[in-house]
Structure 1
Amino acid sequence: MSKKTLRSTLVAAAAASALLLTSCAGAGAGGDGPTAEGEEGGMTDVTIMLNWYPYGEHAPFYYGVEQGIFEEHGINLTIQAGQGSTKTVQATGQDQVDFGWADTPAVMSNIDKGVGVQSVGVFLQTTPSAVQVFADSGITTPEDLVGATIATSAGDAPTTTFPMYLEAAGIDPADVTQQNLDAAGKMAAMMNGQVDGLIGFAHDQGPTIANESGRDVIYLKYSEVGLNFFSNGLIASNSMISDNPELVQAMVDATSESFEAAKADPEAAVAAMDGKDPQMPVAEVLLEQWTETIILLDSPTSGEVVPGTNSTEDWEATISVLAEAGLIEGENSVDTYFNADFAPAGGAE
């Protein structure tokens, strides 16, 4: 497949075909996979289920297909929309898809419940969790949240750790009112003025709200008060890891390279998503979402790293935060959740 300079109709059609959303299981699950570079056995059909419908964070997968990165690793990748990280984790654990892209707190919680998956590399290493408010709301610092009403979604990681954020910012959680709503309801309530802001991922809802409302959105990020935990990354079932480690390594390497390529050319990466899903945001929103995602790829302790390279220290910090929040049991070690055998090429702990 050609590089960025060649954008012919034939290439676009081939990319669209490779990325056709499907409800079927990936053909690679449990089958014969390629070597790390795909030189044996030809191309392997592989399906990845996203954490949600495609948005800017997912640009590297589409760009990696368009640029032939996955093909170079022997992978014919099909990208499948998700309906929340928990469903993605469960589908991956049941080998309904070959790989999943899911939020680490949901991955760890489901592992605690017996779902047979492991992380093979977290890519969003700084949490995108944030309080999102309109720039003209009068809320510019955590202290301004006192007396405010914030839309939340019971059970998700940003909501469950919200009291920890407030405490880290020196605020009594009782001084902030939470209104429980689903994802769509939170956004509508904020735009309609029913709440002062919402809890969610700064690289997801905020750009969409700004685009739809015509008002600027600002973020009070958890990481800015020293509260951090892992977010989205690549997962595989225990059976995939044990039966086809070569394919797992190839997928990790291709994903890491695709993220590097998308970082280098954000506009081209987002352009690769064009027309791939009817529920996808407009191009301007996608670009802002991906630009905000790039910030999250750095390790909180090591700074800039090869995408998907994880440290034991960062994993232990994540376990500590999520255990304190009650999202996981807190009795398991890092290797319960993370398989360190598949560090991306060029990455080291």
Structure 2
Amino acid sequence: MIRRLLAGVLLALGVAGPAEAQDRITLVLNWVPGSDHAPLYWAQQRGLYREVNINLTIENGRGSGFAAQRVGAGQAQFGIIDMPAALQVRGAGADLVAAMAIYVQSPYGLYWRRSSGITGPGDLRGRRLGAPPADAARVMWPMIARALNLGPNDVTWVNIAPEAKVASLQSGAIDATTHFYNVHYIYERVFGSDLGFVLTRDIGFNPYGNAFFANGAWLRANQDAARRFIRVTQRAYAECVQQPEACQQAVVGPSNTSLEDLRVSWDLVVRLMQDEPGANRSLGGFDPARVETTVAAVRDAFNVQGLQPAQVFTNDLLDPAIRLP
């Protein structure tokens, strides 16, 4: 009785109720924290999620495949997942729905040393590529290989830890590796003029990249909580474009990366967030035609059946007034 009375008084005063009244949301990242995750930590540190009664837990990930499995199984409500990887897992039965795009442009890049004799992506045939098994670009290799006029088995994959990519390439343990464009500056710094690379969007393969995916069953039952989470997140990404240094400061600790490196990486992230010229969409909004193209590419590359483009994404949770500055 006393607890109900206290709750009524707090409500009348406009004060938030007990902690258990908040909606609990677990977000699993695609990898460890980086510059592209800074808006989440920035918003969390400023209490923006708490202001809308969201109790957010951010978990480190181990690749898009891992995040897709966690969210698809309902072990997390949201995950940051590379869209082609998410579609492949959805085709296998996972209930995943894209709710906000981060990388509107594909982030896939292939990196090699020119001194190894590789002059272009066609020279990767017969070479050793290194990446973790759950690496998004490795999972999507059949689609990338097709764009490069290679067969999916024309290269040999070597399992390495994500943090070992640069060192393995330096030592010659592998001939090439995959990485997202937001860490391009590291390869330029380490390899200088010896660096060879190609971005898949420059060779015609440009699916949507990382996006916030929700567990579909949870989303259908918790539309209001999902909308509050997405709109705060939208606002955070827009604010971080406006004030990048303050935003990146929020992830220095979790990422164990210098502020200078985070700022350089964030500049690359913002390039990946840019929509097509003339597009009139809110920040994070999906173009149905591009989603359909991405679905078709996944369907063809992996013989995935049952993917309906209109069912794999929603723009309904986004605030249409929030645009990329």
Could you tell me the TM-score, scaled by structure 2's length? 0.78
CA distance in 2, matches of 1:76, 1:82: 19
| Structure 1 match to 2:269 | 293
**C-alpha distance after superposition, 1:122-168 (max 9, x if no partner):** 22121111112357777675466577654355575423554654554
Give distance in 1, aligned partners of 2:168 and 2:140.
21
8 Å Cα contact 1:99/1:236 also seen in 2 = yes
Instruction: Identify the match of residue 204 of structure 2 among 192, 208, 226.
Output: 226
Name structure 1 gaps, 5 residues minimum: 1-37
Q: For 2:240 and 2:228, locate their aligned partners in 1 and report how far apart those are by CA, in whole Å.
A: 18
What is the CA distance between 1:323 and its match in structure 2?
Answer: 1.8
Contact 2:111 2:177 (C-alpha < 8 Å) held by counterparts: yes
Say which of 97, 102, 105 aligns to 1:126.
105
Deviations 1:208-265 (A, max 9, x none): 4556x47475641000111111221112222321221101111111111111111122
* Correspondence for 2:259: 283
Richer in helix (by share): 2
Please list, as runs of the form range in 1=range in 2, the aligned pairs for 1:164-313 lying within 5 A after superposition.
164-165=143-144, 168=147, 171-173=149-151, 177-184=155-162, 185-204=164-183, 206-209=184-187, 213=190, 215=192, 219-276=197-254, 280-300=256-276, 303=279, 305-313=281-289
Q: Is the 8 A contact 2:281 2:320 kept in 1?
A: no
1:63 matches 2:38: no
Q: In the alignment, is the contact (CA less than 8 A) between 1:308 and 1:344 conserved in 2?
A: no
Displacement of 1:71 after TM fit? Answer: 3.8
Query: Bigger CA drift: 190-199 or 316-325?
Result: 190-199
Q: Which runs of 5+ in 2 are unaligned?
A: 1-13
TM-score by length of 1: 0.73
Structure 1 residues 285 and 219, CA, compared in 2 at 3 Å: closer, same or farther?
Answer: farther
For 1:48 and 1:325, locate their aligned partners in 2 and report how far apart those are by CA, in whole Å.
29
Structure 1 partner of 2:298: 322
Q: Give the 5 Å matches for 1:49-88.
A: 49-88=28-67
Shift of 1:88: 2.1
* Matched-pair identity in %: 23
Q: CA deviation at 1:195?
A: 3.2
The answer for the alignment partner of 1:346 in structure 2 is 321
Q: Assess if the C-alpha contact under 8 Å between 2:24 and 2:54 holds in 1.
A: yes
Cα deviation, 1:43-98, whole Å, max 9, x if unaligned, reads 54433111111112111111222344434433343322122223322322343333
Alignment CA distance shift 1:218-1:73 (3 Å): farther
SS in 2 for 1:276: helix
Q: Superposition RMSD on alpha carbons, in Å? A: 3.4
Cα distance in 2, alignment partners of residues 51 and 121 from structure 1: 15
In structure 2, what is the Cα distance between the partners aligned to 1:129 and 1:152?
Answer: 13
Distance 1:39 1:74, change over 3 A: farther
